[in-house]
Amino acid sequence: MDCLFCGIIEGKIPSSPVWSDDYCYAFKDINPQAPVHVIVVPKAHIPSADRIYEGNSVYVAKIFEAIPKIAEKLDLGRGYRVITNIGEHGCQSVQHLHFHLLGGAQLPDRMN
């Protein structure tokens, strides 16, 4: 399987790390859409948020436990946004579940 984010998790593809624990890895987005733009991924290949079930939902729970710690580390106390794109109509470009963490400035009321 050829997955960009699995390659990043395994260290085969370089990234700028922000956070790592047993369940997730966070790194800087290569094309930031806000002053702070971090991608948070599970350390297991899950294709999207449309493919969460009882056997893998622990990764999502652990990611959402990590996100406030990542936000604190990145000084996002005034708020931030978490987004996941799903499938073609959702404009998902990498088929490994990921959450965009955006902040560092007042964000637009809507993203589109």
Show which residues are catalytic. Answer: 98
Residue 112 binds to ligand AMP (criterion: CB under 6 A): no
Chosen from Zn ion, ligand AMP, none, partner binding at 3 (C-beta under 5 to 8 Å by type):
Zn ion
Distance in Å, CB of 100 to ligand AMP, minimum: 6
Residue 49 binds to Zn ion (criterion: CB under 5 A): no
Distance from C-alpha of 5 to C-alpha of 43, rounded to nearest angstrom: 9
Say how many CA atoms lie within 13 Å of 23 toward its Cβ: 12
Chosen from Zn ion, ligand AMP, none, partner binding at 15 (C-beta under 5 to 8 Å by type):
ligand AMP
Which residues are CB-contacts of 49 (< 8 A; sequence separation ≥ 6)? Answer: 60, 84, 86, 97
Please name which of 107, 5, 112, 110 lies closest in space to residue 63, comparing C-alpha atoms: 5
Where on the chain is the footprint of ligand AMP (CB under 6 A)?
4, 13, 15, 29-31, 39, 85, 91-94
